[in-house]
Amino acid sequence: MDLLLNAILLLFVTAIVGGLALLAQWGRKNRSAEISLIVILLAISALLVVLMAGLGALAFLARNAEQLQGVAPSGPDGPLLTVSVLVMVLAGCAGIALCVPPLRKVTSRRRRAGGWETGDQGAAPWETTAAPEAGERAVGGRWADPPVFFALWIFVMVFAYNLFNLLSFSELVNSGVFQSADPISPSMVIVSELPFVVIALCGVGLGVRRSLRETLLRLGYGPITLLQLGIVPLFVAAALALEAGFNFLFSWLQPELFEQVGEISEGLFSADTLSLPAAILFGLLIGVGAAAGEETLFRGAVQPALGITLTSILFASIHIQYGPSVVLVHIFVLSVGFGLLRKYVNTTATFLAHAGYNFTLVILSYFLSV
C-alpha cells in the first residue's frame, strides 16, 4: 500500500515538473508559452511564501498556547521550526527573484506605432515566436532563457525542500520514514528512479524541440573508446578509496549519527541475508537503477544548464538518508568527479562509473558481512 501511494505521489510530481519542463522548452520558440511559464512559477513562488509564513505563524501560536496551558509543546522545537520556515520562505522569495530576468525579457519589446516591435508586423506579443534577436538575448542574460531559468528555479525549490528534510532528519528517523524490514525492492527502485528519467527527457525537450536521437545526444549518451572505457574502473577505484576515507571521518567526527545512518543503510541496501547470486543481482539492481535515473537527470540534463558545481550541490542534497553528515561532502566530491567525466568523456562513461561504484559497494558489503 505504501508503495502504491508513493508511486501515485511521484507520478503526480513527475507530471507537474515534466509538464513545466516541456513548457520551458516550448517557450524557446513560443512567446505565449514563455509568458505562461513565468506566470506559473511566479504564482507558485508567491504562494509558497504566503503559505509557509502563514503555517509558521499558526505553529508558533499553537506552541505558545500549549506552553500557557502547561502542556509540553508538540512537533518540532522552536529553533528548528523557525529555521525550517525561514528556509522555505527564502526559497519562495528566491523563486520570485528568479522570475525577474525573464520578466524583463518578455516586457522589453518596445511598442511601435501600430503594435509591438516583433518580427511579425501587427502580431500581438502572445502570438509571436520566441526566436530571439541579438538584442533581446542580452535582456536578462542567460538566466532569462526559459529552460535555464526553469532549471535554476527547480534547483532552488528542490534544494530548499531537501535542506528542510536534512534539518528535520532526527524527526524523520523517529517517524520511521527510513525503516524497512527488507532491502529495497526492484519495484521501489523503478518507482524512485523512473521519474528522474522522465523529467530528464522532458527537460531537454523530447518531442518538443528534439527527436529521440537528438535527445540522447543532448543527454550525452553515445559511444566511448576502449581508452575511455579503461578510465571507468580507475574512477571506481578512486571513488571507493574516497568512500573509505570519508567513512573514517564520519565515524570519528559524528559517531552517533554514523551509527544511525549505518542502521538506515543496512536496512535499505544490505545484502548479507542473500545468497551470492542474489547479492550480485541486487548489486546490479542498485547500480544500474540508480545510475540510469541519476546520471540521466543530473549529468545528462541538468549539468549542461547549471554547471558542475550547482549540479553537484543538488545531487548531494537529495541523499537525505545520510542526514547532515560529512557523507554529503563525499557525495558532492564524487558528483564533481562524475561531472568532469561527463564533461571530458560523456554520460555513458558516468553511467558505467556510477553503476560500477554502487555495484561494488553492495558486493563488498556482502563479503564483509559473511
Q: What is the mean pLDDT of residues 24-37?
A: 93
In a domain, 341, yes or no: yes
pLDDT, tens digit, 9 for 90 and up, residues 224-257: 999 999 999 999 999 999 999 999 999 999 999 9
Question: Which CB contacts under 8 angstroms, 24+ apart, belong to 270-277?
Answer: 270/183, 270/365, 270/369, 271/183, 271/362, 271/363, 271/365, 271/366, 271/369, 272/365, 272/366, 272/369, 272/370, 273/183, 274/183, 274/366, 276/366
Residue 313 located in a structural domain: yes
Average pLDDT of the chain? 85
Residue 136: all three cell numbers together: 533581446
Answer whether residue 354 is part of any domain: yes
Among the residue ranges 48-52, 53-57, 173-177, 321-325, the one predicted with the least confidence is 173-177
% of the chain surpassing 90 pLDDT:
59
The mean pLDDT value for 13-33 works out to 93
**Does the residue 273 lie in any domain?**
yes
Question: Which of 79-83, 132-136, 146-150 tops mean pLDDT?
Answer: 146-150
166 within domain boundaries: no
The answer to whether 115 touches 107, Cβ cutoff 8 Å, is no
Q: Rounded to the nearest 10 degrees, what angle do helices 31-68 and 78-98 cross at?
A: 160
Question: Is 205 inside a domain boundary?
Answer: yes
Domain count, the chain: 1
Domain with 283 in it = 188-370
Note the pLDDT of residue 337. Answer: 97
Considering only CA atoms, give the Rg of the chain: 23
What is the reported pLDDT for 370? 55
Q: Is residue 220 part of a domain?
A: yes
Q: How many other C-beta atoms can be found within 10 angstroms of the C-beta atom of residue 153?
A: 25
43 belongs to a structural domain: no
User: Tell me, what's the pLDDT at 168?
Assistant: 86
pLDDT in tens, 61-107: 776 776 666 665 555 566 777 888 899 999 999 999 999 999 988 88
CA distance 162 to 154: 12
For residue 13, the surrounding DSSP H or E stretch is helix 2-26
